[in-house]
Amino acid sequence: MVRGTKRRRNSTEKPKAVVTLHREDTALVDDQVTVGDSQCTGAKPYARLVGIRRGVATIDIFDDVFVCGRGSDETPVNYNFSALTHDVGLYRFISKVQFAINRATDTRRIYLNDHSRNGTLVNQEMIGKGQTRELMNGDLISIGIPALIIFVFETTDDSQYPEELTKKYHVTSHSLGKGGFGKVLLGYKRSDRSVVAIKVLNTQFSTRCSRAIAKIRDIKNEVEVMKKLDHPNIVGIYDWITVSKYSYMVIEYVGGGEFFSKVVDSKYNRMGLGESLGKYFAYQLIDAVMYLHSVGICHRDIKPENILCSDKSERCILKLTDFGMAKTTTAAKMKTRCGTPSYNAPEIVANEGIEYTPKVDIWSLGCVLFITFAGYPPFSEEYTDMTMEKQVMTGRLLFHSQWRHITHETQKMIKWMLTVEPSKRPTAVELMSTEWMKCADCRTAKQDILKNSAKAVKTTVGGQQTTVAAATVISTTVTAAATITTGGGGEKGVAAEKKRNQ
């Protein structure tokens, strides 16, 4: 069994928010901004409630006490939600006085006081009538139940984003995650209110050496690759804006977090996702890679961290992302040693400067599927009997007890993908044509992908048509990111590997 190390959370590390969005419903705000009296005096608002529900305005806050609720003659409020009276399901949750925003006159800290019986939630945590919570930039405010997110709370500092970006997109301060280059923020398109993810990339600085993204040229390559792609299992791109030393990639919002978190989820007991669910995901990933290779793109960094889940449901749609290492195979020979060590194919590990092919993606995919079915990594420095390089170069695989629940056919397929000799390794087309990929779970996956893409809308990116899921929000899950703090075996092995690879 693989022995791993615990991923310790730094005491200063803040939990990461993961937002799940069911696109059917989203459609953000009307851009109307209601303002307090102070506007007449030319004062600046100290905070803003960004409405992320159709009909809910974005509200600039000037007053030290700002009350939101249905209101009545006896209980006047600053914002009365009257635009939501048609939305009976939601309106019934709103109290006459739902909550108040308070700014302390001395410390200038900002608080939410919950006044309602149904309750107000901050980042999906119930505050409760009579209780108070300090608000932070980017906090999500819901009413009654976690899914009914109404506002993103923001302290105001508009100046940080360039007009080229803000005239087309509203950038909230709600962080979806952090990468080696910077951050990923929740935003929405001003034109149709659909939700987007905005990657803010510092073009002069990258903390992650493994990622060739520090230079504008490399970001351009990533964008050019993404613009060529149109597949339901690949994250779509809407826009790319570069101003001064920052680049902003506006991409499809995928709200279920990394596939990595799914495979290490304690509910699977570190034993893998099992045959049925594993094949459901295998179909989607093979389909994505088959498409990529058919349009002459090699990803070169396939791993669970670069696959996002559409939502938190068990059978979600997977989307391949992070094309920072991708290469157009028709344009140039691939020789560069890149990718993530424990997912790299032997021909990359050999580092002999010999040209390799898109089969390197099949190897990485084999590693991902091995982990998916078994819950532990096929190659790892945690195996102390031989170096990781040797494990990869010899294709040595350890099959622990969990494989007893996986069919021989599946095991055969994984071994085929992890064939050391590239010419004997299958192509994605060959994998897709096997009987193995004709199972009921694969058919279900196919139907689910189709259903998901039926909800897609066509958006123009740089003159090209890109399919992106129709963003219709609401139903967002915020969870702490500390999923990998305990446990052993596979979870620790995979988690440790992830840490090492960063």
Ligand X SMILES: Nc1ncnc2c1ncn2[C@@H]1O[C@H](COP(=O)(O)OP(=O)(O)OP(=O)(O)O)[C@@H](O)[C@H]1O
Residue placing its CB nearer to ligand X in the complex, 178 or 405: 178
β-sheet bridge partners, residue 497: none
| Cα–Cα distance for residue pair 419/416, rounded to 1 Å | 5
Residue placing its CB nearer to ligand X in the complex, 45 or 256: 256
Nearest Cα residue to 141 out of 249, 222, 69: 69
Nearest Cα residue to 372 out of 276, 295, 450, 470: 276
Q: What type of residue sits at position 364? A: S
When asked if residue 176 is in the footprint of ligand X (CB under 6 A), the reply is: yes
When asked if residue 253 is in the footprint of ligand X (CB under 6 A), the reply is: yes
Binding segment for ligand X among 69-77, 317-325, 387-395, 402-410 (CB under 6 A)?
317-325
- CB neighbours of residue 395 within 10 Å: 16
Per-residue mark of binding to ligand X, 295-314 (x: CB under 6 A) = ----------x--x------
With tokens 């010899």, the residue in question is 394
| Cα–Cα distance for residue pair 239/237, rounded to 1 Å | 6
Radius of gyration over every alpha carbon of the chain, rounded to an integer in angstroms:
24
With tokens 């052993």, the residue in question is 488
| Cα–Cα distance for residue pair 35/54, rounded to 1 Å | 18
When asked if residue 202 is in the footprint of ligand X (CB under 6 A), the reply is: no
Q: Report the residue from 54, 115, 170, 211 that binds ligand X according to the rule CB under 6 A.
A: 211
Annotated catalytic residue 301:
yes
Shortest CB 242 distance to ligand X, Å:
16
When asked if residue 199 is in the footprint of ligand X (CB under 6 A), the reply is: yes
Shortest CB 53 distance to ligand X, Å:
19
When asked if residue 234 is in the footprint of ligand X (CB under 6 A), the reply is: no
Binding segment for ligand X among 30-38, 254-262, 339-347, 421-429 (CB under 6 A)?
254-262
Known binder of ligand: residue 199?
yes
437-474 burial, b at 16+ Cβ within 10 Å, e below that, comes to: bebebbeebeebbeebbeebeebebeeeebbbbbbbbb
Token output for 249: 């990639």
Nearest Cα residue to 379 out of 337, 346, 338, 352: 346
Shortest CB 256 distance to ligand X, Å:
8
Q: Report the residue from 254, 309, 360, 471 that binds ligand X according to the rule CB under 6 A.
A: 254
| Cα–Cα distance for residue pair 81/94, rounded to 1 Å | 8
When asked if residue 257 is in the footprint of ligand X (CB under 6 A), the reply is: yes
Per-residue mark of binding to ligand X, 136-175 (x: CB under 6 A) = ----------------------------------------
Q: Report the residue from 6, 7, 9, 208 that binds ligand X according to the rule CB under 6 A.
A: 208
CB contact set of 475 (below 8 Å; sequence gap of 6+)? 20, 21, 22, 25, 147
Residue placing its CB nearer to ligand X in the complex, 251 or 437: 251
Per-residue mark of binding to ligand X, 48-67 (x: CB under 6 A) = --------------------
Token output for 404: 């007893």
285: left (phi over 0), alpha (psi -120 to 50) or beta: alpha
Binding segment for ligand X among 7-15, 251-259, 276-284, 398-406 (CB under 6 A)?
251-259
Q: Report the residue from 114, 139, 154, 322 that binds ligand X according to the rule CB under 6 A.
A: 322
Shortest CB 271 distance to ligand X, Å:
24
Q: Report the residue from 49, 200, 226, 251 that binds ligand X according to the rule CB under 6 A.
A: 251
Question: Phi and psi for 319 in degrees, rounded to 5?
Answer: -135, 125
Shortest CB 369 distance to ligand X, Å:
20
Binding segment for ligand X among 249-257, 270-278, 437-445, 456-464 (CB under 6 A)?
249-257
Residue placing its CB nearer to ligand X in the complex, 34 or 479: 479
Q: Report the residue from 197, 413, 469, 478 that binds ligand X according to the rule CB under 6 A.
A: 197
When asked if residue 229 is in the footprint of ligand X (CB under 6 A), the reply is: no
Q: What type of residue sits at position 366? A: G
E strand or H helix at 187, and its extent? strand 182-189
- Evaluate whether 253 touches 235 at the Cβ level (below 8 Å): no
β-sheet bridge partners, residue 196: 187, 252
When asked if residue 240 is in the footprint of ligand X (CB under 6 A), the reply is: no
β-sheet bridge partners, residue 199: 184, 249
When asked if residue 179 is in the footprint of ligand X (CB under 6 A), the reply is: yes
With tokens 């189709």, the residue in question is 450
E strand or H helix at 280, and its extent? helix 274-294
Cα dist from 482 to 304, 313, 333, whole Å: 17, 19, 40
Residue from 301, 322, 361, 441 carrying the catalytic annotation: 301
Residue placing its CB nearer to ligand X in the complex, 322 or 382: 322
When asked if residue 252 is in the footprint of ligand X (CB under 6 A), the reply is: yes
When asked if residue 180 is in the footprint of ligand X (CB under 6 A), the reply is: yes
Binding site as annotated, residues for ATP? 199
Where do contacts with ligand X occur on this chain (CB under 6 A)?
Answer: 176-181, 184, 197, 199, 208, 211, 235, 251-255, 257-258, 305, 308, 321-322, 324
Active-site annotation, residues: 301
Binding site as annotated, residues? 199
